[in-house]
Structure 1
Amino acid sequence: MKKALWVGGLIAIALQANAQTDTTTRKLDEVIIQENRIQIPFSKQSRNLSLVDRQQIETTPARSLQEVLSFVPGVDVRQRGVTGVQADIGIRGGSFEQTLMLLNGIKLSDPQTGHHMMNIPVPLVNIDRVEVLKGPASRIFGQNAYTGAVNVITSLSEVRSLRLQGYAGDFGMKGINFAGSLPVGNYKQNLAISYDDSDGHQYNSDYQVSNVFYEGGVDLNANHSLRGMVAYTDRTFGANGFYTSAFPDQWESIQTSLASLAHSFTKDRFSLNTRTYWRRNNDEYRLRRNEPEFYQNNHTSTVFAVESNGSYKSKLGTTGFGIEGRKESIESNNLGNHERELFGVFLEQLVNLGSKTDIRAGLYSNYYSEYGWKHFPGMEVGFQASPALRFYSGVGSSYRIPTYTDLYYRGPTNIGNENLVPEQALSFEVGGKWTKNNWRGELVYFNRTSDNLIEWTRNTQREPWQPQNFNEVVFNGVEASAYYRTNPNGQPFQVRELMISYNYIDAEFIETPGLESRYALTALRNQVIGGVLLGFGKKIEWNTKMRYVERISQDPYFLLDMRVDYNRLGKLGFFAEASNITDSDYIEAGTVQMPGRWFRAGFMLNLQ
């Protein structure tokens, strides 16, 4: 099967089709980062920020956003099986509970558990770019942006288009993705649908994933605009080894619904964006797939929020401000029925001191019905030493409240802890960015001191896991990266992209005698990511990606992935992908043994 798919992909590359110029390529330095208040070009950011654009998404050997993010420096993606049917995302040694996921600025955090963080109801084909903010982001996005935030961005097109992608591969894998844009007068709208399934790479690892995403927007006049979104995802999968190795027949089915409506007002130097959104997550979990009566959990969590964010430019600089209200609730046969409210207020100021120095400082004050008021100050300083070289430094505090699973879960292998208190951290970073022609480089050092860190532990007699608060835990790290990109020129051979990065993290987490740690000692220690995208003429692209990963208490592993595209931007294109070419033996999360070498191939249809 593997050989047949690989040969089929190579045969497809030899076919002829029409090619187009890559008109989607944009200078990354000019992209405006979509924060909720003050928006700054990528090149002027005084933070450690990674940007994944459409070209990188399309040429990466990946079938899911989770797999794409695994090639972002400093991001730790722990997948349970292929295509990220369930995956946890950590940043700078943090856990999956400490990362905030957003979709067009809408927070996707679930009060039940961070394991649902990546239930993003957007087909990969419809994602325009992904912004990864590393470091404390509570001042910008609010609580739970503890170690960083990942913002998935979609865009509305003024041009009619249709994109269709299909693929098949090992493990009975197959999928179809559709994205269409159909503007009608002043009204712009997108519809995207996807379906993926597989028999699974091991016993009880099959899955079916469906996504439906609709987005529409209209400019009412020169100052006012409306934008709405409705999305739904259904994920059903065998969960062998996901949460415990004692029950190989685990099974889970998750449905996530999301709806939002936003109004934007812009006039002269003032802008205001107000939106409301609703998110519901249904989670059915069985310890034995075909025996729900043996042990079954049913959880329904609901989030309703309203927020308003704005900015005003004056002689003193740019002022950002915002207010939000959020209600979270859960109905569960295991966790019980609970609800809590959040209220937050933002204020920040960006000031330019001359032509080279800028200071951005602010405060987010948060009230939680269970924990009272908390305040998160932060500040960044940037210095443009030359047109090519920028230095920056920043400090900020962050905060995460326990999930309902942390507090109330009861099961044969896990028990919650109602006495947990929120975890807090103070973070500092200093770095430099260099940009010259087609090259970018960055070097940054960071320090994070966590207090009341929440970590699941158990005693050496193998009693159930239970979360505990740990006193001061210190993380230190260094990230170095270099990146090169040039536009396609149709030459017989061209290096179009080249990247290399190295991350080192030292976590001063010392286990208590007699206790085992579940997550802290599986955090990244050393991470090396590399990639090269080659162009052969106008139509063939060959992308090679590699990762070396070493965790604190686990054996290191090396992964090599490749993708070949033919006529990617033409009307009809083909691709072939191979993952784990080195056939490495490794585990990323739980006790799920990841697959060895595996292949897939497919086609792309682009019409305008």
Structure 2
Amino acid sequence: MILIGLARRGKRPLPLAKLPIILMKKALLIGCLAILSFQANSQTDTTTQNLNEVIIQENRIQIPFSKQSRNISLIDRQQIETTPGRSLQEVLSFVPGVDVRQRGVTGVQADIGIRGGSFEQTLMLLNGIKLSDPQTGHHMMNIPVPLVNIDRIEVLKGPASRIFGQNAYTGAVNVITSLSDKQSLRLQGYGGDFGMKGINLAGSLPVGKYRQNLAVSYDDSNGHQYNSDYQVSNIFYEGGLDLNSKNSIRGMIAYTDRTFGANGFYTSAFPDQWESIQTTLASLSHTFTSGALSLNTRMYGRRNSDEYRLRRNEPQFYQNNHTSDVFALETNGSYKSKLGVTGFGVELRKEQIESNNLGDHERSLTGVFLEQMVNVGEKTDIRAGVYSNYYSEYGWKHFPGLEVGFQATKAIRLYSGIGSSFRIPTYTDLFYVGPTNIGNPDLQPEQARSFEFGGKWSHSNWRGELVYFNRYSESVIEWTRINTVEPWQPQNFNEVTFNGVEASAYYRVNPNGRSVKVKELMFSYNFIDANFTTQEGLESRYALTALRNQVIGGVLVGFGEKVEWNTKMRYVERISLDPYFLLDMRVDYNRMGKLGFFAETSNITNTDYIEAGTVQMPGRWFRAGFMVNLE
């Protein structure tokens, strides 16, 4: 696989005899800190959690991770902190079944797909709040939360419209933050290749019963190639107060500013592309809990401003200015009775945009959720429900779903589910006008019906999962063109079927006194078969870049109680693109102590590859930094 990855675009692969020597040299360079610090003192990693007991943060019925009848990946704080990466995008690239297509280092802009779906078909959430942008799915990762402040990430694979609403077409990613009762301060700084540097600060300062967090970050780089520099700033504040035993409130306000050279992001014809994006998010929620009834009401707003230029220093040549706004009000609840658990919810949502290119538009949505979970005997549980929504342009749509779980033994759980999903076109899909892309106002929403069957195994420190899925899509939206002279334009395609298999195994050791130990071990394989075929002479832009084979592996080794060495590998093969292999490593010293250090290297194999657009990804690159933890 390594040789295949290095052979991209005619490059001769490294001789097999030399490859281990090169990898060994890089590994030894990264591992020097581990060897020097072998005799470290003892301490406890407070980020370690019992993942089986974690409650998955859906908006209504709350179920522990171990009792879920869905294919869900859970990434906790320890995994986030020890993964070789400086961004959420890089962390997600090691999640089975998730296709991360980055444009440049640290994912300054990245598209996220699940189970062969496009970036438009994945729903991003922050503490259950939808981050969908009506302009384009390219803004889905404009998440205004520094990585240091993320508590965990929940990735739900498969149709999630019944749970989260429209746009959760192939899955959903929910980023979770938490409020602490303890005072704390965490500071991280780093520097590396390409003039890269960054600083992250997160603090928790409870005052009486009021809990609050503040996090800020700044990252920039000169870029790994011409016109690929970037500057990213984030500020995030949240607070919460328990009014009494039944009522609590929680508020959040966040802002991100991303400015970057966009060489090859959307077209190779204009290497001087440039973009500047500012996103503001604010929310306020109230939770009422009394006996069997739980009710959460929240309102939130999101504004995204996007300035795009074809020529960075010549805005008069071609410039787009878009400002999109989303306002929403949601009420979600659950009620426990002799019949089981009933979940219910209502959402009101308004989307609007002002744009010199797309025009001025607005649309509204009303959605209703209803679901029921019942236990049949001691081993079987059934969860069924429906999401119905009314869009101002498309009328009523209904999305039912059903999951069945069977606890065969204490260690083995079998599950199966069916569901439907839905996505409406973005304003870019409908109305964009440019030299290389043009919208289609006649587009219809895309819909899909999905089925999956799987099994989970959990014993001692081991977890494993095997799942098969099938997705039958109708009216799929795909950008196409007749030839390289004509612009890309989206069309509806009648039928597309995806079949896939995911197998994964995960190991985590409990804390022990051994001087050398494997703390985590993971391996996964994903295969996806798509029968998407375009008309003869019609070129497809996104569909034929979906994953076909994906292999992910990782091992986290502890030396003493202060040194951790994490090695991650990925093999990625897409339907019509050359495959590639990537190897990353990270070493942490005293990660949980008051003062710690880390060093990490990405793409140790120096692989030549492209993930999105025509952006040539960097070869081998290095960064290192420090961490200060005060409580």
Alignment of 1:453-464 (within 5 A): 453-464=476-487
Q: 1:597 and 2:613 equivalent?
A: no
Whether contact under 8 Å (1:323, 1:344) holds in the other structure is yes
Shift, 1:230, TM fit? 0.3
Shift, 1:23, TM fit? 2.1
Once residues 394 and 17 of structure 1 are traced to their aligned partners in structure 2, the CA distance between those partners, rounded to angstroms, is: 48
Shift, 1:11, TM fit? 5.5
Shift, 1:548, TM fit? 0.2
Match of 2:45 in 1: 22
Q: 1:502 and 2:525 equivalent?
A: yes
Once residues 604 and 514 of structure 2 are traced to their aligned partners in structure 1, the CA distance between those partners, rounded to angstroms, is: 29
Shift, 1:491, TM fit? 1.4
Of 421, 424, 427, the match for 2:447? 424
Once residues 29 and 535 of structure 2 are traced to their aligned partners in structure 1, the CA distance between those partners, rounded to angstroms, is: 54
Once residues 227 and 423 of structure 2 are traced to their aligned partners in structure 1, the CA distance between those partners, rounded to angstroms, is: 34
Tell me the alpha carbon deviations over residues 277-308 of structure 1, each in whole angstroms, 9 at most, x when there is no partner. Answer: 00000000000000000000000000000000
Q: 1:552 and 2:575 equivalent?
A: yes
Paired letter, 2:537: G
In structure 2, do the counterparts of structure 1 residues 326 and 398 end up closer, same or farther at CA, with 3 Å as the change threshold? same
Alignment of 1:147-546 (within 5 A): 147-546=170-569
Once residues 426 and 176 of structure 2 are traced to their aligned partners in structure 1, the CA distance between those partners, rounded to angstroms, is: 26
Paired letter, 1:359: I
Whether contact under 8 Å (2:462, 2:505) holds in the other structure is yes
Whether contact under 8 Å (1:9, 1:602) holds in the other structure is no
Once residues 426 and 505 of structure 1 are traced to their aligned partners in structure 2, the CA distance between those partners, rounded to angstroms, is: 16
Once residues 421 and 485 of structure 2 are traced to their aligned partners in structure 1, the CA distance between those partners, rounded to angstroms, is: 33
Once residues 564 and 522 of structure 1 are traced to their aligned partners in structure 2, the CA distance between those partners, rounded to angstroms, is: 33
Once residues 18 and 373 of structure 1 are traced to their aligned partners in structure 2, the CA distance between those partners, rounded to angstroms, is: 62
Match of 1:95 in 2: 118
Tell me the alpha carbon deviations over residues 146-199 of structure 1, each in whole angstroms, 9 at most, x when there is no partner. Answer: 000000000000000000000000000000000000000000000000000000
Match of 1:117 in 2: 140
Tell me the alpha carbon deviations over residues 449-480 of structure 1, each in whole angstroms, 9 at most, x when there is no partner. Answer: 00000000000253000000000100000000
Whether contact under 8 Å (2:253, 2:281) holds in the other structure is yes
Once residues 516 and 483 of structure 2 are traced to their aligned partners in structure 1, the CA distance between those partners, rounded to angstroms, is: 58
Once residues 490 and 300 of structure 1 are traced to their aligned partners in structure 2, the CA distance between those partners, rounded to angstroms, is: 56
Whether contact under 8 Å (1:9, 1:601) holds in the other structure is no
**Secondary structure of 2:89 counterpart:** helix
Once residues 224 and 14 of structure 1 are traced to their aligned partners in structure 2, the CA distance between those partners, rounded to angstroms, is: 52
Tell me the alpha carbon deviations over residues 372-407 of structure 1, each in whole angstroms, 9 at most, x when there is no partner. Answer: 000000000000000100000000000000000000
**Secondary structure of 1:590 counterpart:** coil
Of 58, 81, 87, the match for 1:35? 58
Once residues 484 and 592 of structure 2 are traced to their aligned partners in structure 1, the CA distance between those partners, rounded to angstroms, is: 58
**Secondary structure of 1:390 counterpart:** strand
Whether contact under 8 Å (2:549, 2:572) holds in the other structure is yes
Match of 2:585 in 1: 562
**Secondary structure of 1:291 counterpart:** coil
Once residues 267 and 191 of structure 1 are traced to their aligned partners in structure 2, the CA distance between those partners, rounded to angstroms, is: 31
Paired letter, 2:317: F
TM-score, with structure 1 as normaliser? 0.98
In structure 2, do the counterparts of structure 1 residues 11 and 51 end up closer, same or farther at CA, with 3 Å as the change threshold? closer
Match of 2:105 in 1: 82
**Secondary structure of 2:63 counterpart:** coil
Once residues 47 and 23 of structure 1 are traced to their aligned partners in structure 2, the CA distance between those partners, rounded to angstroms, is: 28
Match of 1:576 in 2: 599
Whether contact under 8 Å (2:40, 2:560) holds in the other structure is no
**Secondary structure of 2:284 counterpart:** strand
List alignment gaps of at least 5 residues for structure 2.
1-24
Paired letter, 1:138: S
Once residues 405 and 251 of structure 1 are traced to their aligned partners in structure 2, the CA distance between those partners, rounded to angstroms, is: 18
In structure 2, do the counterparts of structure 1 residues 546 and 8 end up closer, same or farther at CA, with 3 Å as the change threshold? closer
**Secondary structure of 2:56 counterpart:** coil
Once residues 234 and 351 of structure 2 are traced to their aligned partners in structure 1, the CA distance between those partners, rounded to angstroms, is: 24
Match of 1:51 in 2: 74
Once residues 256 and 83 of structure 2 are traced to their aligned partners in structure 1, the CA distance between those partners, rounded to angstroms, is: 23
TM-score, with structure 2 as normaliser? 0.95
Tell me the alpha carbon deviations over residues 129-153 of structure 1, each in whole angstroms, 9 at most, x when there is no partner. Answer: 0000000000000000000000000
Paired letter, 1:50: S
Paired letter, 2:535: T
Once residues 229 and 172 of structure 2 are traced to their aligned partners in structure 1, the CA distance between those partners, rounded to angstroms, is: 30
Whether contact under 8 Å (2:40, 2:561) holds in the other structure is no
Whether contact under 8 Å (2:41, 2:561) holds in the other structure is no
Whether contact under 8 Å (1:298, 1:334) holds in the other structure is yes
Paired letter, 2:242: D
**Secondary structure of 1:55 counterpart:** helix
Whether contact under 8 Å (1:8, 1:601) holds in the other structure is no
**Secondary structure of 1:322 counterpart:** strand
Once residues 397 and 62 of structure 1 are traced to their aligned partners in structure 2, the CA distance between those partners, rounded to angstroms, is: 34
Q: 1:60 and 2:80 equivalent?
A: no
Indicate the RMSD between aligned Cα atoms, in angstroms: 1.5
Once residues 63 and 222 of structure 1 are traced to their aligned partners in structure 2, the CA distance between those partners, rounded to angstroms, is: 39
List alignment gaps of at least 5 residues for structure 1.
none
Of 150, 167, 189, the match for 1:144? 167
The alignment-based identity, stated in percent, is 82
Whether contact under 8 Å (2:41, 2:560) holds in the other structure is no
Once residues 360 and 548 of structure 1 are traced to their aligned partners in structure 2, the CA distance between those partners, rounded to angstroms, is: 36
Alignment of 1:6-21 (within 5 A): 10=32, 14=36, 20-21=43-44
Aligned pair count reads 606
Whether contact under 8 Å (1:305, 1:325) holds in the other structure is yes
More displaced stretch, 14-23 vs 302-311: 14-23
